[in-house]
Amino acid sequence: MQKIIFFLFTTTCFVSNGVAQVVGGDLAYLAEYREQLPYFQELITGGQYAEASRLIQGDPYFASRQFEKGRLSINGIVYPEVPLLYDSYLDQLVTFHPIFNQKILIKPEKIDGFTLSNGSSFRFLSGNSGYSRNQNGIYEILGEGKFKALAKRYKTTKALREMSQFDALFVEKTDFFLSKNGEFFPVSSRNQAIEIIGLDPKDTKKELRAEGLNFKQSPENFLRYLVTKSSDQ
């Protein structure tokens, strides 16, 4: 049932080559989609998405504030070219409702993973409940070996003191983790990452210098390289 319902949704959304649009009454699947809509909303969506306050400068989204086509995996089924927005302030994945012309939420617990148009790949990961920014548990997968290299992309708000039309602004931040067997290890330095994975410090630092990799300059590439090394252990 889930597969059929979401197929109807994606077919309805993506008959256009452009950004998702409100469909017309001549679409072949429209009647059946309307009939199945209550089931679709119950199984997949988390309700209507509430826009961020207009008194906050900027936007709450990661990478793009416009719907762009990505890939979505739900219960092992991959759906290509789904219009997606990732709200990293609320840690919510947002898509587009073709019937009511609304932004709607996709329940985080239904998500196996998704990939945005810029290539960033995310998964819903359980655990790490002690981390204050865990929220719905959506993490970017930077690389995988015996360990996973993860980035938690999130936004906070900062109050504005000067006279302005805005009360606050969105500030983008990232925390990094290594994960293995469901356990999360926060990473904030080169030495910490090397120690967590259990690599030889002297040899690893030599290799990192040869590759031109520095944690402070490019933590994503640094951690991606280290987790590939973890597969060699």
Joined tokens for residue 129: 């409940």
Crossing angle for the helix pair 190-197 and 201-211, to the nearest 10 degrees = 130
In angstroms, the CA 117 to CA 137 distance is 21
pLDDT confidence of residue 163:
81
| Helix, strand, coil % over all residues of the chain, rounded to 5 | 25, 35, 40
Can you give the pLDDT at residue 230? Answer: 79
From the list 85, 86, 2, the residue with the least C-alpha distance to 42 is: 2
Q: Would you state the pLDDT for residue 45? A: 67
pLDDT in tens, the chain (233 residues): 444 344 444 444 433 333 333 233 333 444 444 444 444 454 566 788 999 999 999 999 999 999 999 998 887 888 888 889 999 999 999 988 777 788 989 888 888 999 999 999 999 999 999 999 999 999 999 999 999 999 999 999 999 988 889 999 999 999 999 999 999 999 999 999 999 999 999 999 999 999 999 999 999 999 999 999 877 66
Q: What does the pLDDT read at residue 7? A: 41
Retrieve residue 74's tokens: 């739900």
The pLDDT, as a whole number, for residue 86 is: 97
Q: Identify the pLDDT of residue 233.
A: 62
How far apart are the C-alpha atoms of 89 and 85, rounded to whole Å?
Answer: 12
Question: How many Å apart are CA 72 and CA 82, to the nearest integer?
Answer: 7
Positions of E strands within 116-167 = 121-124, 138-144, 148-159
